[in-house]
């Protein structure tokens, strides 16, 4: 794959602002558990301001997959993200996925309206909460005008999806547990337990090796970072080192939407480059 400006790979610094929805959906007891909910709120109170300062000082733009519930409860944070030129993308209402076209269509309509109200723009891409995607989703996304998905895990990407044997203008920007910070920095003793702590330095060491491998093949990296965990100071410092390493090693750091538009424009859908200068 040829990337803009002779870059070696595309790099999307993507965040999932699950905030309280992560705790509300992983264990029903948490609706009455203010301390666990406060762990989710760490994202909007501490993590995101720290991350936005980092992105600003490094001069890069990122994508924030945002459950609309998060946007409803923390509108100022989401508005600030959009005003700074970052992308806000779809991630359910309460971090959920519906199992029929009709129910999911209604959920997307509701969530899109909330995000549009706050950011002034509709989301152009989506990431299924907890990785859930059903057979009907490609048709639904196409019908709703989405241009990318960040869900599939069978290919380092990017690639164009097919529906009924026909290529459609939806780009897959895959993700993986290797580039999900919760593989390294999420801990909870509450069921379902999760604790495999690694230092920020170890985490970004793995990411640097992964970047080198993907750059050799001209591929892409799309992150899944959760500000309530990676927003802690040592991880943000490590992320800064990673961003600098990525710049030095030929990464094109762009939002998911920019990468999707570029890929579409190079692969049979030139009209999707509109508004972008690659």
Size of the site for Zn ion (CB under 5 A): 3
What are the backbone angles phi and psi of residue 111, rounded to the nearest 5°? -65, -40
Could you give the strand order of the β-sheet that contains 87-90, starting from the edge strand earlier in sequence? Answer: 14-16, 63-66, 87-90, 125-126, 148-149, 166-172, 159-163
Work out how close the CB of 129 gets to Zn ion at its nearest, in angstroms, rounded to a whole number: 5
Work out how close the CB of 78 gets to Zn ion at its nearest, in angstroms, rounded to a whole number: 15
Task: Quote the DSSP letter at residue 189.
Answer: -
Segment 101-130, which members bind Zn ion (CB under 5 A)?
A: 129
Decide: residue 59, CB within 10 A, 0-12 exposed, 13-18 middle, 19+ buried: exposed
- CB closer to Zn ion out of 127 and 219: 127
Segment 190-249, which members bind Zn ion (CB under 5 A)?
A: none
What are the tokens at 244?
Answer: 């600098």
Stretch that binds Zn ion, among 9-17, 149-157, 179-187, 254-262 (CB under 5 A): 9-17
CB neighbours (10 Å) of residue 134? 14
Work out how close the CB of 118 gets to Zn ion at its nearest, in angstroms, rounded to a whole number: 18
- CB closer to Zn ion out of 16 and 256: 16
Segment 127-146, which members bind Zn ion (CB under 5 A)?
A: 129
- CB closer to Zn ion out of 16 and 185: 16
In this structure, are strands 220-222 and 9-12 parallel, antiparallel, or unpaired?
A: parallel
Work out how close the CB of 16 gets to Zn ion at its nearest, in angstroms, rounded to a whole number: 4
- CB closer to Zn ion out of 129 and 227: 129
Decide: residue 95, CB within 10 A, 0-12 exposed, 13-18 middle, 19+ buried: buried
The neighbouring-strand residues paired with 148 are 125, 171
Work out how close the CB of 91 gets to Zn ion at its nearest, in angstroms, rounded to a whole number: 6
Work out how close the CB of 130 gets to Zn ion at its nearest, in angstroms, rounded to a whole number: 7
Segment 11-30, which members bind Zn ion (CB under 5 A)?
A: 16, 18
- CB closer to Zn ion out of 8 and 91: 91
Work out how close the CB of 231 gets to Zn ion at its nearest, in angstroms, rounded to a whole number: 15
**In which region does residue 5 sit, left (phi positive, over 0), alpha (psi from -120 to 50) or beta (all else)?**
left
- CB closer to Zn ion out of 16 and 112: 16
CB neighbours (10 Å) of residue 202? 12
CB 89 within 8 A of CB 65: yes
Stretch that binds Zn ion, among 8-16, 81-89, 108-116, 233-241 (CB under 5 A): 8-16
- CB closer to Zn ion out of 18 and 20: 18
How far, in whole angstroms, is CA 74 from its chain's centroid?
18
User: Which chain residues interact with Zn ion by CB under 5 A?
Assistant: 16, 18, 129
């Amino acid at each position: 794959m040829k990337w803009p400006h002779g870059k070696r790979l595309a790099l999307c610094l993507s965040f999932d602002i699950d905030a309280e929805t992560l705790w509300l959906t992983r264990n029903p007891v948490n609706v009455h558990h203010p301390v666990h909910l406060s762990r989710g709120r760490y994202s909007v109170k501490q993590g995101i301001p720290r991350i936005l300062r980092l992105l600003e000082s490094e001069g890069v733009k990122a994508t924030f997959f945002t459950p609309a519930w998060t946007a409803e409860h923390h509108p100022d944070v989401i508005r600030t993200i959009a005003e700074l030129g970052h992308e806000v993308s779809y991630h359910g209402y309460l971090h959920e996925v519906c199992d029929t076209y009709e129910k999911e269509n209604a959920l997307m309509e509701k969530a899109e309206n909330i995000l549009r109200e706050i950011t002034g723009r509709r989301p152009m891409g989506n990431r299924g909460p907890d990785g859930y995607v059903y057979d009907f989703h490609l048709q639904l996304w196409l019908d709703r005008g989405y241009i990318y998905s960040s869900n599939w895990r069978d290919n380092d990407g990017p690639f164009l999806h097919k529906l009924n044997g026909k290529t459609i203008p939806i780009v897959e920007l895959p993700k993986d547990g290797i580039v999900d910070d919760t593989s390294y920095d999420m801990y909870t003793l509450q069921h379902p337990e999760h604790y495999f702590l690694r230092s920020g330095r170890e985490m970004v060491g793995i990411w640097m090796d992964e970047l080198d491998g993907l750059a050799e093949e001209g591929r892409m990296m799309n992150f899944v970072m959760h500000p309530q965990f990676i927003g802690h100071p040592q991880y943000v410092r490590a992320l800064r080192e990673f961003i600098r390493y990525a710049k030095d090693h030929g990464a094109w750091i762009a939002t998911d939407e920019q990468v999707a538009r570029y890929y579409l424009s190079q692969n049979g859908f030139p009209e999707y480059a509109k508004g972008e200068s690659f």
